[in-house]
Structure 1
């Protein structure tokens, strides 16, 4: 009895000490743990979604892809599959499963395969509050947290949170996201087999998913189905049918209405500036860009087709070899795997050549389908020899492509699946950007042929020489100095000599000279020597300063005569901003890309409040001129613009106030951009309305010419494609045709585009702004203006129309010209019919009369 009493006392003491120790450990561990009640209010990380202004989804940004789903919307067989595999006694335990722990312990002691004993509640505790390290102390914390979670949340709440939180591979979190990622389906569209695949992923999401390994995914699926059968959740027949179903899976991205990757990246950067990366990527923001879906899609198509057309004009550069004729051909799986890793290059898709004959080739596409490519689909592919020459038109398929090569193709017919055409990724690149000239909203932006091929955004990052597209700004400075569109200058060769420098002899392109021409005609025909003479007449320093009125930074160009021919380098967005000054009546607007931002619940967090061009206003308050988000203007822009503006500062009337945007109570979500009062703000006027009107008129005639006159401007293609009175623009081509531009406007839309090699190579003979850049502008603006009414300009107060002589710009009856009052000609050109004295040695090249008049 003494021995038994001693043993009982010892055991009781040990149990008591163990309990005390466990209690102390529990208290200490609990003090280090977070409050699990926070799970009741948890907000799962949601990616940022980016929409067009009219609500089309164009992008998604965030490390975690997640589609939240209510438990009631998750199919019961999928819930059964998860429970049967991960926690079959979920609705019976209180956070941890003693039977499961005992079973795992016995298996471990026997030396069998290690078994998991964590319940769904424990996994939830680990995912939210703990690290995945395998230590006893972490396991104890997990048990404590699981117990407390069961006390504050119902079973259904725990299960719903788990099914939305669990990581399932390929950045996919939650079962609804996994259904989209692996099968491209909604939850209610999944088969039993596909549900079992998803339910088996938590064990090893990176290696058991069907994209990584169909074999391993199939093995894991079968295990899940067997567990469901054991738990009586499915019948034997269902088990056999699901087990026999082949797994068909591929990676499915978020379903977008269409891709607009360059816009998505522009928006992402701006949201990160406002909120920081962690908030921007995890709060489920819905960001509405300023772009219009119709215009953006048209811009992307126009730019790509224009580059493809240029590329084809210069020939076929050849394909990439995967295997040679004397080597063993790749198997289909390896080919598809290789093609799937190639970057997206719409409208082209990658393919491999399996077999060729004289008239056709059999090709394998990235999606695993085979197709036929005929000789007719590659007739364009004359061999590239140099930038100015190509080989002969191919007469056999083997002259262009060979078996074992990787090529690019596109389907030319919407109805015929086999109407394939050989493609080629252009080496040349381009950008196109379109603004609302009244407020600066970016309505379309394309930074290159393919974002996947090159994420360099040429809209905002490409500083390239602008060529003759700078001329309207310089002519505006000349008009501001007192010249008029009827002023005549000599279009004759000129030589500029400066001490210690080689003589400079600027030339026209083409190298044709026509004597005296009016400024309107000189701009329309893009006469270089007339531009140089204009610069020398009004002063290069004056022009260099004047250009800043259009938002150009002084450090971007040098004050030399070469500025007349476009030696300055600007981005397409800067050029669009400058041309908007002409279109909106003389106001410097700020480009912006975000219209509004909503949180995950649809509450508005941010709303753009751009400065607008107030054409009907006489006095413009410049005190509200603030730098734009894109930082195109210097920090001291307010002072610079104020000194250039024609209006005086005044206080805004309460009549112009608008309601402030909705805000959040969460300080971390309040963007500094909306802390200021939301009032109507006006852009500063940087040139007069009269100057803007004259330049719009001149740029219109660059396309349409003048009534009754036979001259043709460099933008004549525009007149044929868009016969509207409110359109106009200017071509631009740099020396040796390295960069080509077109910038213009129509119905309060201003658009600029350029084409060039990133490496500054020559584009080739015959390539110029009118041929190389203008077609993309026309294709885009045809769509953008299709639903816009034609704008009819009213004459500004100080503009008058005067009849002039077409040749010399003096008073006459040939045509009418617009003038700022006071700059109109005072003299009439008349050839007297009296006695005339012949001029000795008359100059046959002169356009002036060869007689002297007697008065």
Structure 2
């Protein structure tokens, strides 16, 4: 009896001491326990995702990949796999499994170390959110207290949902949604039983048991999970055997990016970090919806890349990238060749390949993935040697003139199979804006973001050349000139006594027509007319006027070279300026983020852009009015002149017809079918052809394209016709220029974009008058034939004399001294 009394007292004392110890430890760690609010609002560190305006995913930023999933959306077999493997009594215990705790305590006493956790799902959740993974008794104690605290505050389903969305699965995948995407590229409901078992087995050792890094250990772990599911009668024997035999093969999948727009994505990333800081931007699960249309963005990317390849091909082939073996040597082992080929990365539209064999006019090529392809003569007949920017070598007659077996080349997909290619040397940019509110519809800053992250659409300040002229002409119309005013298109020789040098600006091409109407001068891009207009107004007047279009006053040259485009601007700045003409005279603010949605799908930011509204009343409208910077009448008149740059004028039947510099747009059935004649634009080329531009618009979209070398000293050069190609295969030759180098890119883009935007007629605004003028003199005419046309005028500026008067026409610039 004494023994039993002693034992009873000992047990009571042990229980009391144990309770006091546990209570003391609880009080010791009490301050470290999470609050109820913290438990219910566990931040899941979801990466930021960027989308197009129509919901296509552009990019994902953040080290942790997570796709939060509500418990009701998790397939039951996947839940069964986790419960069977990690915690079969999850819905029965109170957060701690006494058997598991006893096992861990016994290990601690016998070995001095904790070798296995025996943790419940609640304990694992506590460890994942609040603790480290170190195997110490203090951590286990904290883990137990936090687990009990979690169980007292949250429902079982809430705990399980948090667990499934929080735990780590390796390769930066956190949560089951991300794991399904990273390992299988699938949504949860698309997973097979074998794939679900594989995912459920990963939490034990995500870095060493995942099917990518260690497929052998992953297979064994999957077998354990399937065995537990069978033991728990969650699957049948047949299902067990089928899943057990399933292959383990998988690969690393990226985020669900459905549209490539890396330059736009980087613009968003930088803006979001600026607004929220890196931690919040990358981990808060923000979804950023841009203003860009997926269709237009794809079209812009394609246009930039294809246009650069077109330039590169007409200038010649720069040669193979490497020679793995010589023509007269045997091919090395296939594995060796594939390993060497794998060192060459795909860039842009190009894929590296090695030439296995050649015939006179074809080649067999091998890709790094082991696939073979055929390269036909039609895909490489263009490849005459590149000599310098101005010269190309003789056209090849057979494949051996281009490369031999063993050569590492690049190819891209063409209309008739593979096409020989090279990574283009020049750069390009294309940006499109909605003129009425400044929303960026598309933005491409270069050929390949992997090669260069420099965004030429927003960062490259390049001389604009003749793209400046519409703004010069707008100033002229504001200062007394009209579209019918005659200006002398004749060479200028201006002596500068200070430098002892004569400035002789020239037209390009070097052709002069004498007196020419302002409309035609802009459409034909007459340099000397632009100079004379600036002289008539004065440099200071023009500089002040150009700031109306958003151009930086301090960046505008204070000399006559301004009239020829010596100012440097980014494509985005140029597009913003042209939007003023397209929207009727308002300066809008470009923006590219439409709205930001948080992890709870609540809109935390909605753009309020400045809006160009010609007839709106400001009251009762939740918009910001864009400032009017030029009159609607002025915008219309300049647009008319740029419309003539596309459609020209005169009468071809009477041999007086002429083309503007953008006449190639007429050849695009895709554009004219949608827009008719409601298109306006202007080419731009700088001295020595170092920068080429085209900016143009329809009523619903303005786009600016630029092509040039990043090296400011390099010129784009010129080409000759390739005798291997037909005229349709090489529509461009001669000296590169805005009309030849940048305009085709704009056309390619707009052929797609114009199907999504308005292309309304350029309606005549109120406050203008029209009068029939004589095309030769700009005076009024009573004739009604090809020698005349109706022209638009601001009231009070229309001519008053008729052409049949004997007096000669007034021509600005007849005597340079008056300027």
Match of 1:725 among 662, 677, 697: 677
Deviations 1:328-362 (A, max 9, x none): 857659948975994662x4444455555555444
Describe the SS at the equivalent of 1:731: strand
In the other structure, the counterpart of 2:634 is 691
In the other structure, the counterpart of 1:704 is 647
In the other structure, the counterpart of 1:632 is none
Answer whether contact 2:321 2:409 (CA < 8 A) is retained. Answer: yes
Instruction: For 1:376 and 1:103, locate their aligned partners in 2 and report how far apart those are by CA, in whole Å.
Output: 74
The 3 A distance-change label for structure 1 pair 689 and 352 is same
Instruction: For 1:248 and 1:341, locate their aligned partners in 2 and report how far apart those are by CA, in whole Å.
Output: 25
Instruction: For 2:600 and 2:367, locate their aligned partners in 1 and report how far apart those are by CA, in whole Å.
Output: 42
In the other structure, the counterpart of 1:639 is none
Deviations 1:811-846 (A, max 9, x none): 34432332222222334455869xxxxxxxxxxxxx
Deviations 1:424-483 (A, max 9, x none): 222222111112212212222222222233222222111111001101111111221212
Instruction: For 2:260 and 2:294, locate their aligned partners in 1 and report how far apart those are by CA, in whole Å.
Output: 10
Shift, 1:755, TM fit: 0.8
Answer whether contact 2:700 2:759 (CA < 8 A) is retained. Answer: no
The 3 A distance-change label for structure 1 pair 796 and 176 is closer
Shift, 1:133, TM fit: 4.3
Q: Does 1:809 align with 2:775?
A: no
Shift, 1:402, TM fit: 5.2
Instruction: For 1:69 and 1:793, locate their aligned partners in 2 and report how far apart those are by CA, in whole Å.
Output: 51
Describe the SS at the equivalent of 2:446: coil
Describe the SS at the equivalent of 1:172: coil
Instruction: For 1:155 and 1:680, locate their aligned partners in 2 and report how far apart those are by CA, in whole Å.
Output: 47
Answer whether contact 2:698 2:758 (CA < 8 A) is retained. Answer: no
In the other structure, the counterpart of 1:422 is 420
In the other structure, the counterpart of 1:248 is 249
Deviates more, 1:155-164 or 1:805-814: 805-814
In the other structure, the counterpart of 2:60 is 60
Q: Does 1:739 align with 2:691?
A: yes
Instruction: For 1:518 and 1:239, locate their aligned partners in 2 and report how far apart those are by CA, in whole Å.
Output: 85
Instruction: For 2:284 and 2:298, locate their aligned partners in 1 and report how far apart those are by CA, in whole Å.
Output: 28
In the other structure, the counterpart of 1:373 is 375
Instruction: For 1:356 and 1:234, locate their aligned partners in 2 and report how far apart those are by CA, in whole Å.
Output: 57
Shift, 1:772, TM fit: 0.5
Match of 2:764 among 783, 795, 810: 795
The 3 A distance-change label for structure 1 pair 794 and 118 is same
Answer whether contact 1:349 1:366 (CA < 8 A) is retained. Answer: no
Q: How does 1:57-206 map to 2 (within 5 A)?
A: 57-103=57-103, 109=110, 114-206=115-207
Describe the SS at the equivalent of 1:200: helix
Answer whether contact 1:336 1:368 (CA < 8 A) is retained. Answer: no
In the other structure, the counterpart of 2:541 is 542
Describe the SS at the equivalent of 2:496: coil
In the other structure, the counterpart of 2:473 is 475
Deviates more, 1:788-797 or 1:558-567: 788-797
The 3 A distance-change label for structure 1 pair 373 and 554 is same
The 3 A distance-change label for structure 1 pair 146 and 585 is same
Shift, 1:568, TM fit: 0.4
Describe the SS at the equivalent of 1:385: strand
TM-score by length of 1: 0.82
In the other structure, the counterpart of 1:620 is none
Instruction: For 2:711 and 2:739, locate their aligned partners in 1 and report how far apart those are by CA, in whole Å.
Output: 22
Deviations 1:612-649 (A, max 9, x none): 222236xxxxxxxxxxxxxxxxxxxxxxxxxxxxxxxx
**RMSD, matched Cα:** 3.4
Instruction: For 2:547 and 2:663, locate their aligned partners in 1 and report how far apart those are by CA, in whole Å.
Output: 30
The 3 A distance-change label for structure 1 pair 819 and 126 is same
Answer whether contact 1:96 1:146 (CA < 8 A) is retained. Answer: yes
Answer whether contact 1:374 1:397 (CA < 8 A) is retained. Answer: no
Q: How does 1:164-563 map to 2 (within 5 A)?
A: 164-228=165-229, 238-321=239-322, 323-324=324-325, 329=332, 335=338, 339=342, 342=345, 345=348, 347-353=349-355, 359-365=361-367, 369-397=371-399, 399-401=401-403, 406-412=408-414, 419-501=417-499, 502-563=501-562
Answer whether contact 2:114 2:136 (CA < 8 A) is retained. Answer: no
In the other structure, the counterpart of 2:583 is 584
The 3 A distance-change label for structure 1 pair 779 and 466 is same
Unpaired segments of 5 or more residues in structure 1? 618-651, 659-678, 834-846, 849-855
TM-score by length of 2: 0.86
Answer whether contact 1:283 1:599 (CA < 8 A) is retained. Answer: yes
In the other structure, the counterpart of 2:792 is 818
Describe the SS at the equivalent of 1:753: strand
The 3 A distance-change label for structure 1 pair 316 and 699 is same
Q: Does 1:608 align with 2:607?
A: yes
The 3 A distance-change label for structure 1 pair 408 and 510 is same
In the other structure, the counterpart of 1:764 is 717
Instruction: For 1:535 and 1:293, locate their aligned partners in 2 and report how far apart those are by CA, in whole Å.
Output: 41
Describe the SS at the equivalent of 1:503: strand
Deviates more, 1:500-509 or 1:544-553: 500-509
Shift, 1:730, TM fit: 0.7
Instruction: For 1:538 and 1:587, locate their aligned partners in 2 and report how far apart those are by CA, in whole Å.
Output: 23
Shift, 1:575, TM fit: 0.6
Unpaired segments of 5 or more residues in structure 2? 719-734, 808-812, 815-819
Answer whether contact 2:700 2:758 (CA < 8 A) is retained. Answer: no
Deviations 1:509-538 (A, max 9, x none): 112222222222221221212222222221
Describe the SS at the equivalent of 2:682: strand
Shift, 1:365, TM fit: 4.1
The 3 A distance-change label for structure 1 pair 366 and 177 is farther
The 3 A distance-change label for structure 1 pair 301 and 336 is farther
- The alignment of Structure 1 onto Structure 2 pairs a total of residues equal to 774
Instruction: For 1:601 and 1:120, locate their aligned partners in 2 and report how far apart those are by CA, in whole Å.
Output: 25
Shift, 1:19, TM fit: 4.4
Shift, 1:141, TM fit: 0.9
Answer whether contact 2:49 2:286 (CA < 8 A) is retained. Answer: yes
The 3 A distance-change label for structure 1 pair 543 and 597 is same
Answer whether contact 2:678 2:759 (CA < 8 A) is retained. Answer: yes
Q: Does 1:751 align with 2:703?
A: yes
Instruction: For 2:635 and 2:56, locate their aligned partners in 1 and report how far apart those are by CA, in whole Å.
Output: 35
Answer whether contact 1:47 1:61 (CA < 8 A) is retained. Answer: yes
Shift, 1:123, TM fit: 1.4
The 3 A distance-change label for structure 1 pair 89 and 422 is farther
Instruction: For 1:336 and 1:251, locate their aligned partners in 2 and report how far apart those are by CA, in whole Å.
Output: 20
Deviations 1:13-56 (A, max 9, x none): 67755543442222111222212564334453333333333333
Instruction: For 2:168 and 2:467, locate their aligned partners in 1 and report how far apart those are by CA, in whole Å.
Output: 53
Answer whether contact 1:599 1:605 (CA < 8 A) is retained. Answer: yes
The 3 A distance-change label for structure 1 pair 411 and 269 is same
Instruction: For 1:129 and 1:117, locate their aligned partners in 2 and report how far apart those are by CA, in whole Å.
Output: 18
The 3 A distance-change label for structure 1 pair 113 and 244 is farther
Match of 2:625 among 676, 682, 685: 682
Answer whether contact 1:478 1:538 (CA < 8 A) is retained. Answer: yes
Instruction: For 1:607 and 1:43, locate their aligned partners in 2 and report how far apart those are by CA, in whole Å.
Output: 23
Deviations 1:778-809 (A, max 9, x none): 12222222355542334334422233332332
